[in-house]
Amino acid sequence: MGFKIEKLEGSMAKITIDVSAEEFEAACEKAYQKNKKRISIPGFRAGKVPRAVAEKMYGKEMFFEEAANIIIPDAYEKTYDEAIKEIEIASAPKIEVVDMEAGKPFVFSAEVALKPEIGLGKYKGVEVEKIDTAVTEDEINAAIEKERQNAARIVSVDRAVKNGDTVTIDFEGFVDGVAFEGGKGENYNLEIGSHSFIDNFEDQIIGKNKDDEFDVNVTFPENYQAANLAGKPAVFKVKIHEIKEKQLAELDDDFASDVSSYDTFAEYKESVKKNLTDKKEEDAKKQKEDAAVDAIIADSKIEIPEMMLATTQREMLDEFAQRLRYQGMNIEQYFKYTGTNAEIMMEQVKPQAEKKIQTQLVLEAVAKAENIEATEDDIKAEIKEIADTYHMEEDKVKETFVGEREDLFKKDIVMKKALDFIRDNVKEKAAKKTTAKKAEKTEDAAAEKEEKPKKTTTKKATAEKAEKADKAADATEEKPKKTRAKKSEEKSE
């Protein structure tokens, strides 16, 4: 097997690969063995038709396509391992069969994107806005109150429903006197004031008592996800089984010892302040890095080949599908519930994919310009950090995270060091003050957003999973890791 590389315009290359006639014949035999049970010719039992007879009747080409699909992935993978010594392949290949005849070498081409050279802009002394990491008393109190709410006891009460109570109800919804799908629930726990049900549903429960049965009248929003219900008035038959309230603890030493390892409330409050400060400083560090990298990208000349971008988009979609599986949902279900498809999602992740590639190229260029390398001490420190994080033995980390991918492991360290270099060399400037007028507009926008009614889905569990999946997509990691583009993008035609 041999290959030749032809560099094309626009950071592209064509790799022409030829496979010996003997190897192609062996692939044809594999194709015959795989398919012989499906070959039917009068005079022969099923699965017993000799290959020569089948080829005489249907032509020698009958096994060629299957043979090509057998031989291409392995041949390309072997070629990839050799070709990357000469070129930096940055995409999955576009495969095209060049020559496929009996008794002759099998020839195919693989068009690939190459990692583009970039014109690196200014990367030292990049100006970013200084981020205030001071923690206010209000923030400390809010964090403590959140913990207080989480630690609250939920107890049954014998009184009328108040805002903030949790009620256990049965309900069934009707539109024009007819019950609709997904509008029924039994022993459902609803927090009054959570606005998890449409319109003023929860408001109409306030003042009612245990065992009360009554009607709740609502109108579905015009933009409700179920088109058959959108904008329509509905009546819900409701019965209350139980009323529960939160009982909040006093903010004292006993509370502190219950929710933390501290004996006094003063110590606990100080720990809350420290945790908030650490979180703000970590967030500020990330924001500073992102702002600096964005500025370098804007000042650099970067042209991304379309195939490289498309490969990254597919990788991101695959990663998203894997995260969905961890949540108990597959990608087909997600498409169904959200009314989307692979093509739409590919377009949605395109900006993220572009940013991911730009970030990787910039960090690589900075590392090259500053001769940043992964030293033995860096590798040991990274292994120790992973071991501490995952509570693993360092030898196990080496086996799991390093092993055969040592080059990628080192590259990740170099990328981190390049990012540290950029962050350590930024110039911080005071943030612009927000004018009173601007602040007023921001507050108005926030208030308007808060007033919009939330939808109630008829399949709440499904919607929650889909929402989590959406957030997972939005939170896709931007720091790139190299993925070997070994798999064929297309089967032979």
- Domains of the chain plus CATH, in order, are 2-113 (3.30.70.1050), 153-247 (3.10.50.40), 300-474 (1.10.3120.10)
Q: What does the pLDDT read at residue 431?
A: 67
Judge residue 267's burial from the number of C-beta atoms within 10 Å of its C-beta, 0-12 exposed, 13-18 middle, 19 or more buried.
Answer: middle
Per-position b or e across 283-305, b if 16+ CB within 10 A of its CB? eeeeebbbbbbbbbbeebebebb
Work out the average pLDDT over 467-490: 42
Q: What does the pLDDT read at residue 433?
A: 57
Percent of the chain with pLDDT over 90: 67
Could you give phi then psi for residue 208, rounded to 5 degrees? Answer: -85, 165
Q: Is the pLDDT of residue 196 over 90?
A: no
Rounded distance, CA 164 to CA 203, Å? 11
Work out the average pLDDT over 292-320: 95
Q: What does the pLDDT read at residue 40?
A: 86
Q: Is the pLDDT of residue 252 over 80?
A: yes
Terminal-residue alpha carbon distance, the chain: 21
CB 175 within 8 Å of CB 232? yes
Q: What does the pLDDT read at residue 169?
A: 96
Work out the average pLDDT over 372-383: 92
Q: Is the pLDDT of residue 19 over 60?
A: yes
CB 327 within 8 Å of CB 465? yes
Percent of the chain with pLDDT over 70: 87
Q: What does the pLDDT read at residue 60?
A: 87
Rounded distance, CA 172 to CA 152, Å? 30
Give the pLDDT band of residue 175 (cuts 50, 70, 90): very high
Give the pLDDT band of residue 271 (cuts 50, 70, 90): very high
Q: Which long-range contacts (CB under 8 A, 24 or more apart) does 172-179 make?
A: 172/236, 172/237, 173/234, 173/235, 173/236, 174/234, 174/235, 174/236, 174/237, 175/229, 175/232, 175/233, 175/234, 176/232
Q: Is the pLDDT of residue 462 over 60?
A: no
Give the pLDDT band of residue 429 (cuts 50, 70, 90): confident
pTM of the model: 0.70
Q: Is the pLDDT of residue 195 over 50?
A: yes
Compute CA distances 447 → 200, 264, 444, 453, whole Å.
18, 38, 5, 12
Q: Is the pLDDT of residue 37 over 60?
A: yes
Q: Is the pLDDT of residue 432 over 80?
A: no
Q: What does the pLDDT read at residue 327?
A: 87
Summary mean pLDDT of the chain? 86
Q: What does the pLDDT read at residue 402?
A: 80
Query: Between these two residues, 40 and 173, which has the higher pLDDT value?
Result: 173
Q: Is the pLDDT of residue 322 over 50?
A: yes
